Structure 1
Amino acid sequence: MVSTYPGARRTRSAARTAEEGIKDYIRTHRLRPGDLLPSESELCEAIECSRSSLREAVRTLSSLDVVEVRHGHGTFVSGLSLEPLLRGLLLRITLNPDRSLEHLRNVIDTREALDLHSAEEMSSHFAGRDMSEHWEIIERVRTIAAAGQTAVPEYVAFHQRLHAGLSNPLLQEMAGAFLRIHIDCLRLLELAPPRDFPDTIRAHTDLLRGLQAGDADAVRAAVRDHYIPLRQLPE
């Protein structure tokens, strides 16, 4: 049970104020990922908070990937990744078993929407380029499938190389995050990846051909074909 003792509420309020103070300090001083924050005493003075409130705020911001504590070196601005979003979504999906598959389908829909949205830019980016690495991955997937195994690392590598062609770094990160959520959900829910490899390989092959030809319509059609087997989840 969460304490409703007035002192506990004041402590939480002070820590929350310290959190906002640290974020404001990062903004106003234009700090970037990897930059060192002031010492504990200096930061307490700068944002006018107690050491205990500051330490609690730093713990919270560390869990949110806003700051990174390196013992013996100090507190740094973190990479500000989407890792907290990923962890939160995974918890949300797996917390309620009755709705886990529904939430997983939402993740798959989001992945498809991101890929469809990116089709135009990816087609322009890869048109006429050497995509031999992508073709090599497809061949490895084909070989692994012929042996009756799944090729999750190769699947991830393939999509990561495609996402690298996007100019929007947030879109790159979102696509990568939802890919990881999808893979981790299958593992946590103990669901086997789709084994309809011929269709999957065909869709990836069509996707690469569309990208090299700069044909966004062909890319979108291949994306839709790719997600059909991914939606084949148990009822």
Structure 2
Amino acid sequence: MGTSASGRQSGARANQRALQESIKRLIVDRGLAPGAPLPTEFELMKELDVSRHPLREAMKALEAVGIVDIRHGYGTYVGSVPLAALEAGLAFRGALSVRGDYADIRNLLEVREVLETGLVGRVLAAYDRLDFATLEDAAAEMEREAAQGRYAPAQDWRFHEALYRPLGNELVLDLLQVFWKVFNALDPQLPRVDDTPAVTAQWHRAILEALRARDETALRAAVDEHFRGIRARLTTN
């Protein structure tokens, strides 16, 4: 009895997944760092015992999630593994949630809040490495824009980036940026409550002043107030 078309497709998908795993394992086993060149296509075909077409399919799939970086005419390199795929997925779920009950957006906000609240102690511990000039400049620019009735999203992210960059954890920073970018993209579609530009600027000013005073209680209260305002927008649907 012949193999069905669906069976052949299922087998091909399994082979592709196995090939992609083999390429990832090769990168790990050889200790290749981001930006390092991979073996040539011919070398990979020989080492992995695979033909050119499935190898190229596997490389395209790995490139889509940032594991490899294909530079046409130059070769293939280990990628930096950005969180673009996560951002795209969260943005899509958020867009659907806007037209539903906001549940996915609330869940995402909860993850972001848990992360940022949990970092309060570490931010205070990094006090001597904080860039207060950037924090002040971002907060002041938010206040100037608020005086004209405008939000300043670029300065909002600049403020949060300056808060967490001194921690030296690039993954934390990347995750927070993904969360921030998803919320910023959805922001025009969410209902407004009392988070006027002036109120948003005040939240950030309160965080900065508590940080300057090294007052952990006040800092936690300011961070909580910041998120309380965002949560309020997601309970009016």
Q: What TM-score comes out, normalization by structure 1 length?
A: 0.89
Unpaired segments of 5 or more residues in structure 2? none
Q: Give the structure 1 partner of residue 196 of structure 2.
A: 196
Q: Give the structure 2 partner of residue 215 of structure 1.
A: 215
Q: Structure 2: which amino acid aligns with 1:123?
A: L
Contact 1:123–1:219 under 8 Å retained in 2: no
C-alpha separation in 2, matches of 1:53 and 1:73: 20
Q: Give the structure 2 partner of residue 176 of structure 1.
A: 177
Contact 1:127–1:214 under 8 Å retained in 2: no
C-alpha separation in 1, matches of 2:51 and 2:226: 54
Structure ranking higher on relative contact order (CA contacts 8 Å, 6+ apart)? 1
Q: CA deviation at 1:175?
A: 1.6
Report whether the alignment pairs 1:225 with 2:225.
Answer: yes
Contact 1:163–1:172 under 8 Å retained in 2: yes
CA deviations over 1:68-112 (Å, ceiling 9, x no partner): 111111111111122211111112222455436221122222221
C-alpha separation in 2, matches of 1:99 and 1:69: 39
Residue 100 of structure 2: SS of its match in structure 1? helix
After TM superposition, the structure 1 = structure 2 runs for residues 1-235 of structure 1, keeping only pairs within 5 Å, are 4-95=5-96, 98-99=99-100, 101-126=102-127, 131-187=132-188, 190-191=189-190, 195-231=195-231, 232-233=233-234, 234-235=236-237
Contact 1:21–1:47 under 8 Å retained in 2: yes
Contact 2:19–2:55 under 8 Å retained in 1: yes
Deviates more, 1:111-120 or 1:48-57: 48-57
Contact 1:163–1:175 under 8 Å retained in 2: no
Q: CA deviation at 1:196?
A: 2.2
Deviates more, 1:42-51 or 1:166-175: 166-175
The alignment yields a C-alpha RMSD, in angstroms, of 2.2
- Paired residue total: 231
Residue 73 of structure 2: SS of its match in structure 1? coil
Contact 1:107–1:182 under 8 Å retained in 2: no
Deviates more, 1:214-223 or 1:63-72: 214-223
Contact 2:97–2:103 under 8 Å retained in 1: no
Q: Is the alpha carbon distance of 1:129 and 1:213 closer, same or farther for their aligned partners in structure 2, counting shifts above 3 Å?
A: farther
Contact 2:69–2:79 under 8 Å retained in 1: yes
Q: Structure 1: which amino acid aligns with 2:199?
A: D
Contact 1:37–1:75 under 8 Å retained in 2: yes
Q: CA deviation at 1:167?
A: 3.0
Alignment identity in percent? 29
Unpaired segments of 5 or more residues in structure 1? none
Q: Structure 1: which amino acid aligns with 2:215?
A: D
Residue 99 of structure 1: SS of its match in structure 2? coil
Q: CA deviation at 1:202?
A: 2.4
C-alpha separation in 2, matches of 1:97 and 1:198: 25
Q: CA deviation at 1:39?
A: 0.9
CA deviations over 1:27-60 (Å, ceiling 9, x no partner): 0000010011111110111222221111111111
